[in-house]
Amino acid sequence: MALLHISEPGQSLVSRQQKRAVGIDLGTTNSLIASVQSGVAKTVPDHDGQVILPSVVHYGDEVVVGYQAKVKATTDSRNTIVSVKRLMGRGVDDVKTLGNVMPFDFVNADKGMPFIRTVMGDVSPVQVSAEILTVLRQRGEEALGGSLSGAVITVPAYFDDAQRQATKDAARLAGINVLRLLNEPTAAAVAYGLDQGGEGVIAVFDLGGGTFDLSILRLNKGVFEVLATGGDTALGGDDFDHAVARWLLEQAGIAETSLTPERLRTVLQIACDAKEVLTADSVASVNFEGWSGELSRTVFNALVDPLIDRTLQAFKRALRDAKLNMSDIGEVVMVGGSTRVLRVRRRVAELANKEPLTSIDPDQVVAVGAALQADILVGNQSADEMLLLDVIPLSLGLETMGGAMEKVVYRNTTIPVVKAQEFTTYKDGQTAISIHVLQGERELIADNRSLARFTLNGLPAMPAGQTRILVTFQIDADGLLSVSARERSSGIETAVQVKPSYGLSDDEIVQMIRDSFDYAATDKDARLLLDQQVEADRILEAVNIALVKDGDRLLNSEERTQLETAMQTLMEVRKGRDARAIKTHIEQLAQASDEFAARRMDDGVRAALSGHFVDEFEG
C-alpha cells in the first residue's frame, strides 16, 4: 500500500522536509557528532556503536583516524598526531610555550603556522583537524542518509580569532558548511537549559583534555546570554597526565629528557590510566620499565591541585568581569571528560558552596547542544525558540602613536556587534594612515597580539588633527572580525577581513578540496585495504596468543599445523594490496580457529566451575 503525504492547498511539501544538520564537538582528546532526530538531540555512533572518536591521526602507509590511530601513539609517536587542537591558530613560537608535551618534528613555514613532519609529508594542524572532521562528516551523512546542509562546530570560549579561523579552515577543507562556531560552554548551556527548563545565572565549568573554559551565563525564557568568559587554551586533562608522569619518572629514577617520544607516550598513557582508576579507587598500581609502585588518591590530589588552582582563579576572574558574587550563581554545570576527576568536583563544590551538576554526560553534552542550535539555524525549528548571545573573549583595538593599544571592542562584549571609533592624523599634510589591528588586554602593543595591518591612502592633506577617520569593527556570530576605515570628508574607504596568518590561504584550501575529489576513488580503495590489514593483524595476534597459551594442551599436532598454515598464508596475503584477498583469508583463518576457540571456552568454563556444585549457581 502506498502512503500519500497530504498537505493543505497552497502549502509546499518542501517546507516539511527536514534539512540534515549536525553539531560537532571537535575536542582535544575526543570528538563527537550529534544530530536532532525525531525531535531528540543525540550523539551519532560509528559502526561499532562508539559515539566517541579519539582526536588522533596517524600518518603511515595511509591516514588513519580514531581508535586505530590511537594504538600507534606508543609505537610511532612522531607520526601519530594527538592533541592537535592545542596547535590550532598558534605560531611556531607559540608552540614552544607548550613545553615538551608534543613529541613531534615541527617545521617552520612561511605562514608562521607550525607544520608537523610525518612520513607522508609535512602537515599543518588545520589539515590534521580536517582529517578528524572528515570522519565525523562521513558518519553524520551515513546516519542521516545524505549530504549535510551544515554544521555547528564548537570551540573553546577563550579561542582567539586565529584559532577560530583555523577551525573554520579545517571544516571547509573537510567539506563541511559551517553554520556557526559556538562556544563550548554555551553549547552545554543550550543542552542543559532546554532539558531542565532552567532560569537564572549558571556557571559552565568546562575542563577537557587540553582546554579549560569557564562561562557565566544568564538563562531567561529561552535566551542564553553569556555574561563573562574565562579559561586557558593550554590547560586540561593532558596536563594532569603529565603531572602524574613526572611523579612516576621521579619515583623510578628516570630522567624525562632521556625518554624517546615512544617511551614518553607510553608513560603518559600509564599516567592517564592511573588517573582514571583513581576516579573509583583510592589507590592505583603503576608499572613502567621494571619499576612498580602505587599512586594514592592523596598524592594524586597534591599533584593536580596547582592545575585546579588555575581553573578556580579563572572562575573568580569571570565572576568579577560579570560583576557578580559567588552567591549569585544558581548552579555550576560540569562539562568535559576531565571533570570526572573527583578532586576537580570537590574543589569546585568548595568554591561555589554547592554541589556541581553532573547529571548530563560531560563528554556528550557539548555536541548535543551544538546539534540543537544547528537544527534551528537550518530552519528545522523556529529561531524564536532560542536566542544565543555570545561574547568575544579578548578586547580588540588599534595601535596608536607611541605603541599603545586603543581598545575599540572590549572583552565580553555580546556578538554579533558593530562598533566604531574616530581617529585622526598625527602630522601636517599626512595623506595616508597605517592601521594596525590588535587583540588583548594590555596597554602596549608589544604585549598584545597582532591580527592585521592595512593602509588607508589618498587622505586630503590637512593639518594634523583635522582629518577625521572612522574605524569600524564588525564581529559576526562566529567571533570573526572585519575592520573598515573611512575618511569622513572625502569618503575614501578601505577594509580588511581579519584572517590570521596561521590559516590556509583560499587558493590552498581550494586546491586541497579539489585533490580530495580527484583522489576520492583511490582514497576509498586505500581505506578498504587498510581496514582489512588492521583486521588481519588483530586476528593473527589473537590466534597467536591463544596458541602460545593453550595450543599444546588443546590441539594435536595436525590441527596445530593446519592453523599455523592458515596464519602464515594470511600473513603473506596481508603484505599485498588486494583487500578482497585479505578479507577472504581472514574468514578462512576465523573458520579454521573456530573449533580451537570453542575448546578454550569449554576449558575456561570447566575451570570456573571446578570445586563448585551446580546448585550453588541456581536461583
What residues are labeled active site? 25, 85, 184, 206
Q: What is the largest CA-CA distance in the chain?
A: 105
Cα–Cα distance measured from residue 520 to residue 365, given in angstroms and rounded to the nearest whole number: 33
Cα–Cα distance measured from residue 93 to residue 114, given in angstroms and rounded to the nearest whole number: 9
Within 8 A by CB and 6+ apart from 550, the residues are 596, 599, 600, 603
3-state secondary structure 296-346: EHHHHHHHHHHHHHHHHHHHHHHHHHCCCCHHHCCEEEEECHHHHCHHHHH
- φ and ψ at residue 411, rounded to 5 degrees: -55, 150
Distance of alpha carbon 157 from the chain centroid: 13
Q: Whose grid coordinates read 598513557? A: 269
- Characterise 583 by phi-psi region: left (phi > 0), alpha (psi -120 to 50), beta (else): alpha
Cα–Cα distance measured from residue 588 to residue 567, given in angstroms and rounded to the nearest whole number: 9
Torsion angle in degrees (nearest 10) through CA of 528, 534, 537, 543: -90
Nearest one of 309, 316, 281, 308 to 295, comparing CA atoms: 281
Give me the amino acid identity at 181: L
3-state secondary structure of 526: helix
Note whether 62 and 526 are within 8 A (CB): yes
DSSP state of 551: I
Within 8 A by CB and 6+ apart from 64, the residues are 57, 58, 72, 530
Within 8 A by CB and 6+ apart from 298, the residues are none
461: enclosing H helix or E strand: none
